Amino acid sequence: MFLYIDALFNLKGPINTKLNYTDAVTTDTSGVRNIPPYMLIPKTVMITTSVGEIRIFDSEDPKSLLHELGDYIENDDDVKKYGVCLIGWYLDQVLIPAICANSMVYGVKTLPEYLRKLNDKWSKPAGYSLERAFLQGWYPEDRNAQYDQLTMHDALEMCGMPSLKENEASIVDNTMPEGHKILAARILALNNLFHRYCDIGPGGQC
Question: pLDDT for 64-111, tens place per residue?
Answer: 999 999 999 988 887 777 777 899 999 999 999 999 999 999 999 999
Is residue 78 within 8 Å of residue 157, measured between CB atoms?
no
Residue 63 belongs to what domain range? 1-206
Number of domains in the chain: 1
**β-pair partners for 17:** none
Residue 116: closest CA among 105, 95, 101, 94: 101
Distance of CA 142 to the CA centre of its chain: 21
Task: Quote the mean pLDDT of the chain.
Answer: 88
Residues 155, 103 contacting (CB under 8 angstroms): no
State pTM to two decimals.
Answer: 0.88
Helix (H) or strand (E) holding 191, with range, is helix 178-200
On the question of pLDDT at 59 being above 70, the answer is yes
What average pLDDT does range 166-182 have in this prediction? 88
Report the percent of the chain where pLDDT is more than 90.
Answer: 60
Can you give the pLDDT at residue 14?
A: 66
CB contact set of 169 (below 8 Å; sequence gap of 6+): none
- Evaluate whether 84 touches 76 at the Cβ level (below 8 Å): no
- Give the tens place of pLDDT for each residue, 11-27: 986 666 667 777 789 99
Q: List, in sequence order, every residue forming a beta bridge with 7; answer none if it has no partner.
A: 45
Q: How far is CA 38 from CA 33, 56, 82, 101, 146, in A?
A: 12, 21, 31, 5, 15
Q: What is the pLDDT of residue 120?
A: 76
